[in-house]
Amino acid sequence: MMVVDDSVVIRGMISRWISSEPDMVVAASLRTGLEAVNQIDRVNPDVAVLDIEMPELDGIAALPKLLAKKKNLAVIMASTLTRRNAEISFKALSLGAADYIPKPESTREASAADNFHYDLIQKIRNLGAKARRAAPVVHAPAAPHVQDLRPAPALRPAAAPMPTQTLPAAALARRAFSSQMPKVLLIGSSTGGPQALMAVVTELGAVIDRFPVLITQHMPPTFTTILAEHLARSSRRPAHEAVDGEVIKPGQIYLAPGGRHMRVARHGADAVIALDNGPPVNFCKPAVDPLFTSAVDIWQGSTLAVILTGMGSDGMRGGKDIVAAGGSVIAQDEATSVVWGMPGAAANAGICAAILPLNQIAPKLVRLFAGDRS
């Protein structure tokens, strides 16, 4: 693990958190992107937390240089929560960063620091596990057997692993798609979600014109504002952060705003957005489950949901409610997910009608909304 930040306070805080985890070790704590580029071959980390604003070589300039030296390095961009830094974080994702995390404005704010602590450790653990699985295996020549008195490796299996695939992909149970024509598309995503969402909405075209699309992406305020703008550009359709009480209409992409859960409700003859400021669900706010579960009351078996890449199991319980009402769930497959937590939980729960690579999800949705039931 490599921590790169020009603030000695932030470096020290993150390093202490990582060192207290039984399955993590800080291999280097560095002040600039230039130091990181110069030392990555020696340090050889699985994960790097990379600040955006640094002297000599900032995070966005250091990122491609780091990835050129270590292709499977998982880079988490860290920045204060400003529009400029959010824009830079989105650019970093397009350049190969695995994820981003907003730093609290002040480490003296206990709740903000606690959330940052929890989110960072979970991101490091999940992304680090995938990076190690992707690393090439080097087989050392056989040596005479001697008693191994060395300490255990610093990076051990995670103490609390996220749900993973327990069966070969082909053996995971699939349900039949709903016999009812879908009337709404719901999408839930987290780590790796922005890139995945862009790939999906770019190809949806007429589906968006004829049906409403509601998205919950685990993301803080400001970031969701920018994500909505990116979704609008990618889809060439209207996309915006949802507003409490607005009527849900075809031709629109509604994105849950950061820091608020997005549900749907009935107001007279209309389905409307219902935002709430309740506690986190599955450690997330916004969370996917509230959206999925509430949609059942409006669209019943005509609800179609997609669970994209992300940590944890958010979306699985709501997906169960959708399936119980006669609707359908599609999950992204493990190979194309940045983290196969959320879609993996749904797949292993046996609620999915399809488990697909990212590039096959949009074409499948187009066929389903055109009347294909297979």
Give 180-206 pLDDT, tens digit per residue: 999 999 999 999 999 999 999 999 999
Domain boundary among 130, 152, 181: 130
Q: Say yes or no: 281 and 226 in one domain.
A: yes
CATH assignment at residue 295: 3.40.50.180
Q: Say yes or no: 21 and 73 in one domain.
A: yes
pLDDT digits 0-9 by tens, 37-53: 999 999 999 999 999 99
Q: What type of residue sits at position 116?
A: F
- Does any domain span residue 148? no
pLDDT at 104: 79
Q: Say yes or no: 126 and 189 in one domain.
A: no
- Does any domain span residue 152? no
Q: Say yes or no: 270 and 348 in one domain.
A: yes
User: pTM higher than 0.85 for the full model?
Assistant: yes
pLDDT at 114: 85
Helix (H, G, I), strand (E, B) or coil at 192: coil
pLDDT at 167: 54
pLDDT at 170: 56
pLDDT digits 0-9 by tens, 225-234: 999 999 999 9
Is 313 one of the annotated active-site residues of the chain?
no
Overall size of the chain counted in residues: 374
Q: Say yes or no: 122 and 186 in one domain.
A: no
Can you tell me the distance from the alpha carbon of 374 to that of 327, in angstroms, rounded to the nearest whole number?
13
- Does any domain span residue 161? no
Q: Say yes or no: 112 and 187 in one domain.
A: no
Per-residue pLDDT of the chain (374 residues; tens, 9 = 90+): 999 999 999 999 999 999 999 999 999 999 999 999 999 999 999 999 999 999 999 999 999 999 999 999 999 999 888 899 999 999 999 999 999 999 877 655 556 678 899 999 999 999 998 877 776 644 444 444 333 333 333 333 333 334 444 455 556 778 999 999 999 999 999 999 999 999 999 999 999 999 999 999 999 999 999 999 999 999 999 999 999 999 999 999 999 999 999 999 999 999 999 999 999 999 999 999 999 999 999 999 999 999 999 999 999 999 999 999 999 999 999 999 999 999 999 999 999 999 999 999 999 999 999 999 87
Can you tell me the distance from the alpha carbon of 51 to that of 70, in angstroms, rounded to the nearest whole number?
18
The pLDDT mean for the chain works out to 89
Is 218 one of the annotated active-site residues of the chain?
yes
pLDDT at 130: 81
Active-site hit among 79, 178, 189, 190: 190
Whether the CB-CB separation of 127 and 191 falls below 8 Å is answered with: yes
Helix (H, G, I), strand (E, B) or coil at 11: helix
Q: Say yes or no: 124 and 178 in one domain.
A: no
pLDDT at 301: 97
Active-site hit among 218, 235, 294, 321: 218
- Does any domain span residue 145? no
pLDDT digits 0-9 by tens, 280-327: 999 999 999 999 999 999 999 999 999 999 999 999 999 999 999 999
Phi, psi angles (nearest 5°) of residue 149: -105, 10
Q: Say yes or no: 93 and 204 in one domain.
A: no
Q: Say yes or no: 109 and 185 in one domain.
A: no
- Does any domain span residue 364? yes
pLDDT at 111: 63
Is 117 one of the annotated active-site residues of the chain?
no
Domain span at residue 359 reads 173-369
Cβ-proximal residues to 331 (8 Å cutoff; 6+ apart), any chain: 306, 307, 343, 344, 346, 347, 352, 354, 355, 356
Q: Say yes or no: 230 and 352 in one domain.
A: yes
Q: In the structure encoding, which two tokens stand for residue 272, read together?
A: 């409307």
% of the chain beyond a pLDDT of 70: 88
How many domains are contained in the chain?
2
Can you tell me the distance from the alpha carbon of 11 to that of 84, in angstroms, rounded to the nearest whole number?
22
Q: Say yes or no: 192 and 340 in one domain.
A: yes
Active-site hit among 23, 51, 314, 333: 314
Q: Say yes or no: 107 and 242 in one domain.
A: no
CATH assignment at residue 46: 3.40.50.2300
